[in-house]
Structure 1
Amino acid sequence: MAITNNETAPDPRQLMLIVEDDLALQKQLKWSLDRFESVVADDVPSALLQFRKHNPAVVTMDLGLPPDQDSVAEGFKCLEKILELNPSAKVIVLTGQNDHDNALRAIQMGAYDFWAKPVDPDLLSLTVERAFRLYELQEENQRLLNANRLDVFDGLITRDGGMQRICRTIERVASSDLTVLLLGESGTGKEVLAQGLHAASKRKGRFVAINCAAIPENLLESELFGYEKGAFTGATKTTIGRLEVAHGGTLMLDEIGDLPLPLQAKLLRFLQERVIERVGGRQEIPVDVRVVGATHRDLQEQIAAGGFREDLYFRLAEIVVDIPPLRDRVGDPVLLANAFVKQLAADQRRKPLGFSPDAMRALESYNWPGNVRELQNRIKRAFIMADGERLTSIDLGLLDPDREEDSVDETLDLRVIRERAERQAVLTAMSRVDGNVAKAAELLGVSRPTLYDLMNKLEIK
């Protein structure tokens, strides 16, 4: 298995991989394409190793690869795995078997182009140049899209100061490779924050999420680490796991508190050494991935009870983020409800619905045990079932708080009560008018300068 190595890793946008088992032809291709930086490989394992290491923008690949050069099976397997690792890679397939079906199959699988041998070097060089140019254009488009977004936390809607501080923390640590642990109740937005962390980072790989509590224990290891052909009954082909799929990107391990102890040990070894072994395999495979853990469980209690490894906790908890539940995010329930209604109306091409006063009171006072996920589900159901132009507390399945008995606040400190009431009133007004300060001031019965002063005092942005 021949692999060439470079001392310094070149920019993947200027690097190509040549996969060819005929060493003479391999040299010829490298010579004819010498204006491009290149690395070479002569079979599937070496090609994948080079691809993981360099993440090249362009690949030229022979379909007839060892151990069965007379078949196209190995070539198609290599094409499939390369595009799994980076769907944006431009793969140019070369084969001596001038077969229309093979060409069609390669293009359907995601190959950029197809050439039958013998290949004209000038035409191939032109194709490679175009592939590089297309890759760079697509990368630039993605960068422009990211630059034009108001926020990397796509889908996270908040005016709560605590959540805004969490977003700033995530943005600050995104450029590092620190492992992040997200703690919070179910439905608080842990996956949205993890996606925001990935989007704000410089990682070019994929964001991959796996729920450790949703997969049976006997399947979770192979799902995470992959497996070799013949590793167990039903393993008819080698399959890469989620860690390899996320190479160069971010892997979110949701509900990591439910990870079985044997897998905790294997995950700890990966975090220490950054290599994995597939189930049934012996080869150590280097994987570059940022791990984000998330759980609603109290991991300290689990450590004390022997259900979670303390050494793994400290590996995962380089940065710990405690996400507040929706009931503690002042003003967010109404803000989110309005956003969900607008999105549903746009998706279903219907007129947006408003909220009745009793619905607004219910949204603001309800405890939201299911957090944002519960709120979204209630809005969806109400939007479909409502008869009028405004959603009511009955549509939402919530009790109007005006019909409940008065509750006694725990504190009698007038300054605290006044500040809390002012904050609640300002955030509620801003939520109802989508952040329009002039309209919010009118609702509150104050001038716009007075509202600005109040917002500054309460540190509301």
Structure 2
Amino acid sequence: MKTKGRVLLIDDDPGIRDAGFQVLSREGYEVELAGTAEEARRLISDYEFDVIVLDLKLPGAEGLELLREIKEEDPQAQVVVITAYGTVQVAVSAMKLGAADFLQKPFSPQELRLAVAKALEKRRLTLENIYLRQTLREKEGTLEFIGRSAAIRRVLEQAAMAAETDSTVLLTGESGTGKGLLARKIHEWSPRKEGPFVFVDCGTLVPTLFESELFGHVKGAFTGATTHKIGKFELANGGTIFFDEIGNISP
């Protein structure tokens, strides 16, 4: 079953961890728990989280320092900080370090649900903006088809029908005939048009890094993996992914 996202809840209070797990699991999130900063660091190094809920008062650790570490490793990480010792100064410090939201104990299940949902939406928008900037840099020419011939009309009619389905579409044709342009039009006409259109140039993919490009990786997954990397499939979530020159991929 598809989950809404992966959440890490870091708190030294077992009661809060258990309650938070129940609340967020029922909402459809995949939830991991950590009771110490050491546990949290291990989980963060092993997995990529959409939202991290962080207690600023952990045994043997400074919560703000852990928040700083998280944001340095993954600037797009969305962190909701919680504490029983909330002050305006602590909240301001956490926000300056990049926290997405601030909750003070005791908080209600609804407050937790709303904070995580807002942080998840912020992450989605952040990733989408990153991709849109990348797309604008790569985009060339116009997105409009020019042509009134019967052949062009047939192609566009078939593309419109394909856009209404969730099927994989294979576009064939000589180089320079507009396969990429047609792929964008299919995306624009589809129910996924509000999502991202992710372009993958298969001709430039390094075979040894193919899996990493498509699915991403965590820091330390292999030599040279110094940071977390978001894969193309995650960037395309809710939209369309287009593999250009897929025939260039080695079997």
Retained in 1: the 8 A contact 2:71–2:98? no
Tell me if 1:165 matches 2:154.
yes
Is 1:100 aligned to 2:87, yes or no?
no
Match of 2:53 in 1: 62
1:25 equivalent to 2:19? Answer: no
Deviation per CA, 1:157-200: give whole Å up to 9, x if none: 43233222212212212232322111223332222221222233
Q: 1:219: how far off? A: 4.0
Choose the corresponding residue for 1:121, options 103, 108, 115: 108
1:40–1:177 CA distance, 2 compared to 1 (3 A): closer
Q: Indicate the residue corresponding to 1:237 in structure 2.
A: 227
DSSP 3-state at the match of 2:167: coil
Aligned match of 1:378:
none
SS at match of 1:191: helix
Identity %: 29
Contact residue 76 and residue 106 of structure 1 kept, 8 A: no
Q: What is the count of residue pairs matched by the alignment? A: 208
Q: Any conservation in 1 of the 2:81–2:103 contact (CA below 8 Å)?
A: yes
Change (3 A) 1:235 1:218: same
- Secondary structure of the structure 1 residue equivalent to 2:171: strand
Q: Distance in 1 between matches of 2:116 and 2:210?
A: 42
User: Whose Rg is larger?
Assistant: 1
CA distance in 2 between counterparts of 1:223 and 1:126 reads 32
Distance 1:130 1:235, change over 3 A: closer
Aligned in 2, Cα 1:64/1:256: closer, same or farther, shift over 3 Å? farther
Once the two structures are superposed, the pairs formed by residues 6-405 of structure 1 within 5 Å of their partners are 19-22=8-11, 23-26=14-17, 28=19, 37=27, 39=29, 41-43=31-33, 61-63=52-54, 71-72=66-67, 73-74=69-70, 80=76, 93-96=80-83, 98=90, 100-106=92-98, 111=100, 114-118=101-105, 120-121=107-108, 124=111, 131=118, 154-203=143-192, 205-261=195-251
Q: Which runs of 5+ in 2 are unaligned?
A: 34-42, 126-141
On the 8 A contact 1:225/1:240 being kept in 2, the answer is: yes
* Pair 1:259–1:39, CA change in 2 (3 A): closer
Q: Residues 181 and 130 of structure 1: is their aligned pair in 2 closer, same or farther, counting only changes over 3 Å? A: closer
Stretches of structure 1 that go unaligned for 5 or more consecutive residues are 52-58, 82-90, 139-152, 262-461
Query: Secondary structure at the residue paired with 1:173?
Result: helix
Indicate the structure whose relative CO is greater, using CA pairs within 8 Å and at least 6 residues apart. Answer: 2
Name the TM-score, length of structure 2 as normaliser.
0.59
The CA RMSD over aligned residues, in Å, is 4.7
8 Å contact from structure 1 (residues 225, 242) kept in 2: yes
SS at match of 2:153: helix
Looking at structure 1, the residues matched to 199 and 223 of structure 2 have their Cα atoms a distance apart, in angstroms, of 26
Equivalent position SS for 1:252: strand
State the 1:256 CA deviation: 1.3
Residues 30 and 38 in structure 1, CA contact (< 8 A), matched pair in contact too: no
